[in-house]
Amino acid sequence: MSRPPSQLLVPLFVVLLLAGAILTGGRQHRDESGRPTVVYAHPPCPPDLMICFERAFDDFRATHPEIDLRVLHITGNYEDKVKIMFAGKVAPDVIFMYATALSAWVALDALAPLSDMIERDAAIAADDYFQAGLDTFSLGGQLYGLPKDASAEIVFYNKQMFREQGIAFPTPDWTWHDFLDAARVLTRDTDGDGRTDVYGATQPPWSTLVLQNGGRVISDDGTRCLLDQPVAIEALTRWAELRTEHQVVPTPEATMDTSAWRLFALKRLGMLISMYPGVPILRRSCDFDWDIALLPEGSVNRYSAFAGSALAVTSQSANKDAAFTFARWMTSEGMRHVMTFDIPAYKPLGESDAWREASLPPASKAVAIEAMKHAGEPAVKHPDWNEIMDAINPPLDRVNRGMNTVEEAVKEIVPKVNAILQRRQSPGKGAI
């Protein structure tokens, strides 16, 4: 597929070169006719989705002739390459980010605050976006990213398998007890060799169960890990028992050579907990009837982690107003071009009949929008997110393998996470 001359492919070994010479003669901020130049660093994505984005970029150029839009197609590790450009003082005007990266970008002073910009913009209002998206991409009371796509955790389930096993389809008020009952029936040794061939479900994220049980991962002031609290230990125990006691979720060995999505497509998995962007995978790979359901309700609430991406205006941009115009358009009207892949975070599209009534599966698309009512920020929102998760996940993995108890794991986890948190004594930056 050919690209307009203004769009550049960026491999690692030439990032610095292109960063210093995005346009001939250096990093220019206006084109030959005096229009403000907006450089957007676009992340890697599948070819069929990229075609839709190319159409969106062309649409923006046609409807906003006063702005010179240039698109950098970043290959490989997106964040590392963009950070190199920041270090060289030649950052793009607009970047793409996931929620887990927000705190780190803010800590680097890499992003321009957007709250005042969106208040001044007559074309859009903050409440045009799903609230969970706004909360997720805000920090310290300031919005730093315009939510682009949105999803809350949902359950994908094999309707054919449910029918064959005589299991009622999930209802809007189902609980984790209902989920476990269904998973037990779905889990089967189909060839009589003593080994499980079909698993009932994937394991839900441990953090979701903790928050649904009224727990927290990190204290509100961002100084303490709270996984040693009774409500957290109770939730983690239920999470681990799905594998160690009930044995209804795949073992590490079962997923060593294939993904959960593949197991689901092969009818070796009855329920899959994930996010809506996985829908295109199932449309291509499943030859059976499947649908989506709300995440089961917890003992305290129905929290479901929000997942999505956002576009942010960088602090190094010389054309912040024009950059905001592109980010605002791309996260609103521009999302019409990719509605078959994602749920637009822009509510006039995400809640529209055009999105809900599209003929492509799943049949119950409205469930994905209903799930947004229960969506909340990620359980951990911190500049050192990767390091914190590296401290938490290995001990919990050993619990999952039956090697440790939950109590033993949290005794190891809490001091390590506390040490990470104590390095940053800025109240409010470490927690949601």
Domains defined along the chain, listed by start: 8-151+307-376 (3.40.190.10), 154-305+378-422 (3.40.190.10)
Does pLDDT of 180 surpass 60? yes
Question: In this predicted structure, what is the pLDDT of residue 425?
Answer: 67
- What's the length of the chain? 432
Does pLDDT of 6 surpass 60? no
Question: How confident is the model over 19-44, as a mean pLDDT?
Answer: 78
- Residues 353-395 have pLDDT tens digits of 988 887 889 999 999 999 999 999 999 999 999 999 999 999 9
Does pLDDT of 15 surpass 90? no
Percent of the chain, pLDDT > 90?
84
Question: In this predicted structure, what is the pLDDT of residue 4?
Answer: 39
Question: How confident is the model over 422-432, as a mean pLDDT?
Answer: 58
Question: How confident is the model over 279-289, as a mean pLDDT?
Answer: 94
Question: In this predicted structure, what is the pLDDT of residue 185?
Answer: 98
Question: In this predicted structure, what is the pLDDT of residue 20?
Answer: 47
Higher pLDDT pick, 255 / 327:
327
- Residues 117-161 have pLDDT tens digits of 999 998 899 999 999 999 999 999 999 999 999 999 999 999 999
Does pLDDT of 13 surpass 50? no
Question: In this predicted structure, what is the pLDDT of residue 265?
Answer: 96
Does pLDDT of 31 surpass 80? yes
- Which pLDDT band, with edges at 50, 70 and 90, does 27 fall under? low
Does pLDDT of 430 surpass 70? no
Question: How confident is the model over 318-332, as a mean pLDDT?
Answer: 98
pTM over 0.85: yes
Average pLDDT, the chain: 91
Does pLDDT of 22 surpass 50? no
Question: How confident is the model over 187-193, as a mean pLDDT?
Answer: 95
- Please state which of the ranges 251-260, 316-325, 339-348 shows the lowest mean pLDDT: 251-260
Does pLDDT of 65 surpass 70? yes
